[in-house]
Structure 1
Amino acid sequence: MKANHLLELLRQITDLDDPAVRGRGADEVTDWIRSYTSAEAVTLATVLSATAARERDHTALEAQLHALLELTSTGHVEDAHMAHLREIDVAELPAEFQGYITDLDRK
């Protein structure tokens, strides 16, 4: 993956103003899942976990959690790279999101 494409993905998933942009960025992460080096997968997972920990928009959060699940399939992402997910109060999430967190805890 070229540097400018990685930076554009990171810009989208960290957009401070628009949850739709964050959601689209997370969706795009899954489109390129087989293209990432280990460093890129780890970077994206770390940033996505931090973003998900602060996310208030359910659509964007679902995209972020889905992208994290997909990134774990690369074999490069470990629990430590998703440590920010521990900041999420699972009890406050809708039931379908609790399943994502449970699945990520098993990875």
Structure 2
Amino acid sequence: MTDEGSRMKAESLLDLVRMVSHADARRREEGAEKATDWVSSYSECEAAALAAVLSLAAACEEDEGTLEAQLHALLEIASTGHVTTAHLEHLRQVKQEEF
């Protein structure tokens, strides 16, 4: 999953993006949970890209459990310091009644 420098391999990151954007809610939830497992392996660019994708996914999410996993993953990834508010802007579209 990582290369010699403890960074994610391109294929692994792409697989993760595919999981968090999958048509099936359970796969999206699994992807969000998996995203938290590799937080220390993300480069600045990878963390920002993954946060942007998770933000988009959360904005469209209808499954409560999956949304919770996505928001948790975003908090974990944001803790790297590589995520800006611009990467999270789609969170404004999350329905507040979902909380």
Matched, 1:86 2:92: yes
Stretches (4+) displaced over 6 A = none
Amino acid at match of 2:17: L
- Percent identity, please: 52
Encode CA deviations 1:23-68: one digit per residue, 9 max, x unaligned. 0000000000000000000000000000000000011101000000
Q: Note the C-alpha offset of 1:89.
A: 2.4
Q: Which amino acid aligns with 1:10?
A: V
Deviation per residue, 1:1-39 (Å, 9 max, x gap): 1011001000000002x1000000000000000000000
Task: Give the 3-state SS of the residue equivalent to 1:75 in structure 2.
Answer: coil
Shift of 1:88: 1.5
| TM-score of the two chains, using structure 2 as the length reference | 0.90
Structure 2 residue corresponding to 1:76, chosen from 82, 88, 91: 82
Give the aligned partner of residue 101 of structure 1.
none
What is the total number of aligned residue pairs between the two structures? 92
TM-score (norm 1): 0.84
Cα shift at 1:86? 0.7
Q: 1:16-55 counterparts in 2 under 5 A?
A: 16=23, 18-55=24-61
Amino acid at match of 1:67: A
Q: Kindly provide the amino acid, as one letter, of the partner of residue 71 in structure 1.
A: I
Runs of 5+ consecutive residues of structure 2 not aligned to the other structure: 1-7
CA RMSD in angstroms, aligned pairs only: 0.7
